[in-house]
Amino acid sequence: MAIDRVITFLDAHRSVFEEQLKTLLRIPSVSAQSERDNDTRAAAEFVRKDLATIGLNEVALIETKRHPLVYAEWLDAPGQPTILIYGHYDVQPAEPLEPWNQPDPFEPVIRDGNIYARGATDDKGQMFTHLKALEGWMKTVGSLPINVKVLIEGEEEIGGKNLEIFVAENREKLACDYVVISDTSQFALGLPAITYGLKGLAYFELIVHGAKTDLHSGMFGGAVANPLNVLATILASLMGPDGKVRIEGFYDPVRPLLDWERADFAKLPFSEAEFQAKLGVTSLVGEEGYTTLERKWARPTCDVHGLYGGYSGEGPKTVLPCKAGAKLSFRLVPDQDPLAVAEQFKAHVAKVCPPGVTYEIKEHHGAPAVLVGVDSPGVHAAVRAIEAGFGTRPIFMREGGSIPVVGLFKTQLGVDTLLLGWGQDDDNLHGPNEKFSLDDFHRGIKASAHLLAEFTRD
């Protein structure tokens, strides 16, 4: 059978693929850092060349206002379905560098069967599995069993708007039956998963201004509002001790967890005690009345990501700062609307902010949560493909992370995305010592090769 020849080729090329992945990981394509713009472009160029070598048609670098998109297609399977493979070649900044166990996060290190480097799992390693699966088919059979479009972007980690513009302007070109994305995780070691839900996001920066200049806290404290104190008051008002967000109307549109979901989550092999121990925390916290998996995957949350203001250098300084700021976000669930949450948040701050200060609210990314159906021909094909590639039937899970393009593909192209994650939850994406299991890399390549076959229609 054709797929057997593909799998033999993939097995024979394991070390070649690993070397290619290392080359891609050596390119520091940090989309957020403009001094790395040439490297970011080099990563796009690497992906373009790889797709051209594989033998796809219409391989192109598409310029945007910032980082280029890479597009390729192979549409020579008339009557067969079409999938659009999406991934991103950009990565998060590697800083801070001290906690990394290797001198350079962009010089991959292989340890205990894992490849360590920034972007190993998010998303270069995962994205690359699909390219190698396409290569397996093209280099053995000389064709693909279905039609394939590939779209790899370079602004995922900065919430760039250029992909959104491109998708809106190219709906015909991108038309497909399903989108396939590998940018999530498996449930656990040896337990692959299909993710059917992602959270949305509403991200803000709240900046509080007080006096014209920093002041002596002895001379002016008690008389003049302290923006840091005020910020602390506002932030403390956002969540109650029961773990609920205390913003009016926030929970109104929240779709409750369904009974089957709660029952299925409860059956998963998850130990709260082990989870707690692994993270090194003294207890798990969160909204009352929900299990840890329910809170992580399907309940909205609020987190502060950074605070600034006053003096945090060495030793004391009795300053009464004139300005303080916080970055914070709400992770959203269906059917919360990020724009409505922004309005609710602004109304809340207006209500609780004490006198004596002014403030501004900057709105960063926003994306709605997504839920995709678990009972479609595409999902069934993915289940069979993962079972063939990983040797284990995948479970269904939701995730707390956000992939805004999933919502975009639904609204613009009217299609569901298959979220086939090959990562692990301890892969440290966005953190130091990011890794990706090489076994999962090769299993992911095989699952993707099987997916193309499983999608065929008689």
Interface positions with Zn ion (CB under 5 A): 122
Q: Which of the choices Zn ion, ligand BES, none does residue 201 contact, using the CB cut-off of 5 to 8 A by kind?
A: ligand BES
x/- mask, ligand BES, residues 74-113, rule CB under 6 A, reads ----------------------------------------
Rounded Cα–Cα distance for residues 456 and 78 (Å)? 11
Nearer to ligand BES, 136 or 421 (CB): 421
Rounded Cα–Cα distance for residues 303 and 290 (Å)? 18
Nearer to ligand BES, 9 or 204 (CB): 204
Under rule CB under 6 A, which residues in 133-172 are in contact with ligand BES? 156, 159
Assess 201 for contact with ligand BES (CB under 6 A): yes
Cβ–Cβ < 8 Å for 83, 181: no
* 123: three-class secondary structure by DSSP: helix
**R_g over Cα of the chain:** 24
Helices (H) and strands (E) in the chain, counts: 14, 18
Q: Which of the choices ligand BES, Zn ion, none does residue 183 contact, using the CB cut-off of 5 to 8 A by kind?
A: ligand BES
* Residue at 301: amino acid letter: T
Q: Which of the choices Zn ion, ligand BES, none does residue 154 contact, using the CB cut-off of 5 to 8 A by kind?
A: none
Q: Which of the choices Zn ion, ligand BES, none does residue 108 contact, using the CB cut-off of 5 to 8 A by kind?
A: none
| Contacting residue, 162, 185, 301, 336, with ligand BES by CB under 6 A | 185
Minimum CB–partner distance for residue 356 and ligand BES (Å)? 34
| Contacting residue, 90, 135, 183, 440, with ligand BES by CB under 6 A | 183
Rounded Cα–Cα distance for residues 71 and 48 (Å)? 8
Under rule CB under 6 A, which residues in 314-373 are in contact with ligand BES? 365, 367
Nearer to ligand BES, 81 or 444 (CB): 444
* 136: three-class secondary structure by DSSP: helix
Rounded Cα–Cα distance for residues 144 and 410 (Å)? 25
Rounded Cα–Cα distance for residues 142 and 161 (Å)? 36
Residues with Cβ within 8 Å of 249's Cβ and at least 6 positions away in sequence, in order, are 340, 344
Rounded Cα–Cα distance for residues 366 and 339 (Å)? 7
Nearer to ligand BES, 310 or 431 (CB): 431
Rounded Cα–Cα distance for residues 375 and 276 (Å)? 33
Assess 399 for contact with ligand BES (CB under 6 A): yes
- Residue least distant from ligand BES (Cβ): 401
Nearer to ligand BES, 185 or 226 (CB): 185
Minimum CB–partner distance for residue 167 and Zn ion (Å)? 19
Cβ–Cβ < 8 Å for 50, 152: no
Rounded Cα–Cα distance for residues 44 and 59 (Å)? 12
Assess 403 for contact with ligand BES (CB under 6 A): yes
| Contacting residue, 325, 404, 407, 444, with ligand BES by CB under 6 A | 404
Look up tokens 């082990």; give the residue.
274
Assess 29 for contact with ligand BES (CB under 6 A): no
Nearer to Zn ion, 50 or 122 (CB): 122
How many residues in total does the chain contain?
Answer: 458
Residues forming contacts to ligand BES in the complex (CB under 6 A) are: 122, 156, 159, 183-185, 201, 365, 367, 399, 401-404
